[in-house]
Structure 1
């Protein structure tokens, strides 16, 4: 088994902005919500697998045109993080964009699905699906609570 630096780099690129959240938390508190257990487990399993699988299960074949979608989705994700900082670190900025709910949950899923095409790996696609099954519903539950608290 070999480490694929492209996959590892992409996983870290998606993970790093989220690690800044404890350093720059929202100014208004995020309501505590509890999603159903299986959804929370799927979210954690998806997060862990999306960190590890791209580094370990890429085929070695790079399908470059998928990189356009990977770059676009990652750029959009970073733009939303910049918006969060620029708009005064409001909790709603993490969960809503105009009328679109949970874009910061959807875009990482898109990044990893596109990465599955880019690095030619069904394993990365499977990890992205597990992430989607958990992360999007958990974020949606929190987004609804944030909207109700405003």
Structure 2
């Protein structure tokens, strides 16, 4: 245990765009979707762990080239937040597929965290990332299906 400034910076960089939803929520609320309770709890645990664990665990030997996929995934994540804002803050912009990624706004933060774990040689960050992936990605797929179904109902 210990404090990791690099881990804190990464955690804040991944968390910060989500705060946009406080000030810029979707114009039309996201349709209700039934996310199983266990999956929702797993998602929340993963989110909390991915904010806390990088900051409170010391890195091992830095493996510099792993910073590249972390930064690329983070830039992609920020670009998707820009898409959300520029597309009029629609739920479909939050859950629309991009390239080969079915729920990129869920997958890219996981990639940032897992790449950071490799970059900082920190297995605890990897565990947090796997827990996040196990909850956040399937929950986002469920919500994305509800958003797509709602979009098809609109004339």
Alignment TM-score, normalising by the size of structure 1: 0.95
- Equivalent residue, structure 2, for 1:53: 53
Deviation at 1:61, TM superposition (A): 2.3
The correspondence of residues 74-89 of structure 1 with structure 2, limited to 5 A, is 74-89=74-89
Match for residue 146 of structure 1? 147
* More displaced stretch, 21-30 vs 43-52: 21-30
Q: CA RMSD in A?
A: 1.2
Mapped partners of 2:146, 2:82: distance in 1: 23
Q: Does the alignment pair 1:109 with 2:105?
A: no
TM-score, structure 2 normalization: 0.92
Q: 2: CA distance between counterparts of 1:122 and 1:44?
A: 20
- Give the Cα separation in 1 of the matches to 2:32 and 2:102: 18
Alignment of 1:1-150 (within 5 A): 1-98=1-98, 100-150=101-151
3-state DSSP class of the match of 1:27? coil
Deviation at 1:98, TM superposition (A): 4.6
C-alpha distance after superposition, 1:2-46 (max 9, x if no partner): 210000010000001101102101112201222112111110110
Distance 1:130 1:49 in 2: 8
Q: Which runs of 5+ in 1 are unaligned?
A: none
Whole-angstrom CA distance in 1 between matches of 2:105 and 2:72: 14
Does the CA contact (< 8 Å) of 1:58 and 1:124 recur in 2? no
Task: Give the aligned length.
Answer: 150
Classify the secondary structure of the residue corresponding to 1:20.
Answer: helix
Partners of 2:76 and 2:43 lie apart in 1 by 21
